[in-house]
Amino acid sequence: MLKCISQSTTYLIKIVAVFFCALFLFRSREVRAGPKEIYHEGVANLQEFDLVSVDEGWVLIDQQLYWTKTGGQHWINITPPNIGRLMIRAVSFLDTQHGWLILTKTDKGGNLTYALAPTFDGGKNWQIKEFSLFEHGDVNSLSGAVYLQFIDANVGWLVIKRATSSNFSKGTLFKTTDGGDTWTQLSIPIGEPVYFVTSEIGWTAGGAAGNELYRTQDGGLSWHPQTIGRPLTPITSQRKLYQLPIFVNAYEGVLPVIVPDENNTEVEFYVTHDSGQSWNLARHLSMNRGVASGTHIPLAVFDTRDWLMIMPYSNQLFKKSDRNKTLTMISQDPLIAGITELDMVTPIVGWAKHMSGRCVPAPGVDNTSPQSITRYILETKLLRTNDGGQTWVVLKLP
């Protein structure tokens, strides 16, 4: 799996609104915006997805898990039966056969409890078993998000991000070495996803301001802050925004770094050949604009010489290849403008998550009134490319 985890001022405002709405997909709330009230309503809620091979992959839609063996043309519901009030919070498939779900529910005492559901036959059969991570009443158990990664059939990590305001990023990290039967609590500096390249070397990035990057060399027992890239100019408001690196093997990887500026944000790409001990600047792009908080670079890496990336707030897809030493724009397909995540399994075939939104008047309400009600409709789509990102088609979701 090669996955990145999403021109005018009007378009920028639209994208910012889409990201804002995405943060609240799981809970409907109203937001005051001047004299009007805007209701955010999720439509076609594509929660998670992964293309495991050229033809096989899965999607999580409104708490239902589906599998395809035809590249997304047909879908089979593989949701574990009789899960009752359990909610699917995270999905991780190692291959077409081995997968794990993290499920949660609230008990009679108001405590959040956790369950693990592994499958060893591609979702035909599941084994659901509850397990204890926290003491009753521990505020760390109240999860705002759950992240799961397995690197083989035995070793995996689980991050429980505490439900807090956006000003904080706190979480708890757990590791298993027996396929999820038992979990050991470790440390983590921020409540963000982890990305392990080996059983010992891993990364986490982001934080409340998006400017934190950490590396572990002991499987998550300890973490060390990383500072990558050229020194910043002496501007107090300038900072670096880090994403998780993408590794193609235990040694080689690519790390995107965003250096935001009010008028001309730069995206820098660093390459490592020694498991992240050192990084060298490979390419950089000027966006000729500022960026919104939380901006993410959709990126797919095939090796340290070949990758694809989408320029934020545009319909431009760039390719870096060993033959062409620069980043070359290879597509301006209109669908690219809404892509927030890339998942390329080969340099030719991949999926992408597409997000778009629109405002519509609430039914039965006089929209000319200053106090009129407007609904914001957020739509998510799954796209597929069979030509390396030059063209995209919308897949029909179940």
Residue 338's identity, in one-letter code, is G
Cβ(350)–Cβ(344) under 8 Å? Answer: yes
Please give the share of the chain, as a percent, with pLDDT higher than 70: 83
394 or 326, greater pLDDT: 394
Question: To which H or E segment does residue 17 belong?
Answer: helix 9-22
Structure tokens at 206: 């982001």
Reported pTM: 0.84
What are the φ and ψ backbone dihedral angles of 193, each rounded to 5 degrees?
-60, 150
For 252-265, what is each residue's pLDDT tens digit?
A: 999 999 988 878 88
pLDDT at 292 over 80: no
Q: Where is average pLDDT lowest: 66-75, 159-168, 320-329, 370-379?
A: 370-379
> For the CA atoms of 291, 293, 294, 297, what is the dihedral angle to 10 degrees?
10
Question: Which residues pair with residue 272 across a beta bridge?
Answer: 253
Q: How far apart are CA 328 and CA 22, in angstroms?
A: 30
Q: Where is average pLDDT lowest: 99-108, 339-348, 369-378?
A: 369-378
Q: Where is average pLDDT lowest: 38-47, 136-145, 147-156, 346-355?
A: 38-47
Q: What b-and-e string marks burial along 219-242, b requiring 16 or more CB atoms within 10 Å of the CB?
A: bbeebeebebbeeeeeeeeeebbb
Give which of 244, 199, 193, 245 is closest to 218, Cα–Cα: 199
What are the φ and ψ backbone dihedral angles of 17, each rounded to 5 degrees?
-65, -40
The parent domain of residue 39 ranges over 2-394
| The total number of structural domains that make up the chain | 1
CATH assignment of the domain containing 320: 2.130.10.10
Q: Quote the mean pLDDT of the chain.
A: 85
For 91-136, what is each residue's pLDDT tens digit?
A: 999 999 999 999 999 988 778 899 999 999 999 999 999 999 998 8
